[in-house]
Amino acid sequence: MARMKFYCDPERCIECNACVTACKNENEVPWGVNRRRVVTINDGDEGERSLSVACMHCSDAPCATVCPVDCFYTTQDGVVLHDKDICIGCGYCFYACPFGAPQFPEDGAFATRGKMDKCTFCAGGPEADSSSDEHRKYGSNRLAEGKLPLCAEMCSTKALLAGDADTISEIYRKRVINRSASVMARGVSYRDASFRAPHSASGKSSAKE
């Protein structure tokens, strides 16, 4: 069976946030909830990198370990999903998750946590595939239609890869080899060959000194 994974290539991500928007639209997620977000490290400085993060569908998921009601399960495709009928909205998965994937809509009189919502790898939930219940609770089930998650499918620079771990690691491996080859051809080190202006090119085009 396949083991579904995301991979985001920081050399390609341009922080356009289209994955965030696409996810929000496709899955009709509640207000205040973003299943995916783009984080930029060293924003505006040399070595700036952006990464799109959501649930990484861990093989040994910490959220599933700490859940007091045991509402997580891993599908045959290796996608980590949860059952909103069982979830009590305690927030423990949010504490344990390294990626900050679990999100909580504000709920009740005191704006406490509602039932957790997170990226489903566009694979819906425990309800029958493509049922209206499933769509209402978990959003779209593209995997059941033979499609991959929309965030990765429409990524304009193909920074975000989604699919079987073997396939996407093969794609990424080829990229790394090609980049190394371009290093060879240009005779510069990989550090200088990555996709941003070198020191010397910082003159007229950049407002930043």
Partner 1 sequence: MAKSIFLQSDNRKMHAGWLLLLLLCFIVQPFDSFANTSESRGIPSAAVLNPAAELWRDVRQREQLTNGTSQVKGVDSGVLINAYGDQWRKFRMQQLIPVGGYLLLGIVIGLALFYLIRGKVAIEGGESDKKLLRYTSYEQLIHWFIASIFLFLAISGLIILFGRPVLIPIMGKEAFSVIASACKEGHNLMGPLFLVALILIFIKFVRRNIYQKGDLSWLLRGGGIIGKKHVPSNFFNMGEKTMFWMLVLVGSVIIASGFVLIFPVFGLGREWMELAHVGHAIGAILVIGVIIGHIYIGTIGMEGAIEGMKTGYCDLNWAKEHHDLWATKAEQQGEVISNDKVSRLRDVSSAQSLGGHVQEE
Residues at the site binding partner 1, with contacts judged by CB under 8 A: 10, 15, 17, 20, 32, 34, 37-43, 47, 49, 51, 53, 62, 65-71, 83, 85-92, 94-100, 104, 106, 110-113, 184-185, 189-191, 194
Nearer Cβ to partner 1 (108/146): 108
User: Least distance (Å) from partner 1 to the CB of residue 145?
Assistant: 27
Least spacing, CB of residue 146 vs partner 1, in Å:
29
The first and second tokens of residue 45, run together, are 């400085």
| Least distance in angstroms from the C-beta of 86 to partner 1 | 4
User: Smallest distance from the beta carbon of 33 to partner 1, in angstroms?
Assistant: 9
- Select 96 or 154, whichever has its Cβ closest to partner 1: 96
Nearest distance, CB of residue 73 and partner 1, angstroms: 10
* 65 versus 156: smaller Cβ distance to partner 1: 65
**CA 175 – CA 4 distance, rounded (Å):** 20
Between 177 and 201, name the residue whose CB sits nearer to partner 1.
177
Residue 2: exposed, middle, or buried by beta-carbon count in 10 A (0-12, 13-18, 19+)? middle
**103-114: buried (b, 16+ CB within 10 Å) or exposed (e) per residue?**
bbbeeeeeeebb
Nearer to partner 1, 169 or 194 (CB): 194
Structure tokens belonging to residue 8: 């985001």
Kindly calculate the radius of gyration of the chain based on its CA atoms and give it in whole angstroms. Answer: 19
| Cα–Cα distance measured from residue 185 to residue 195, given in angstroms and rounded to the nearest whole number | 15
Residue 106: what residue type? E
CA distance 108 to 86: 18
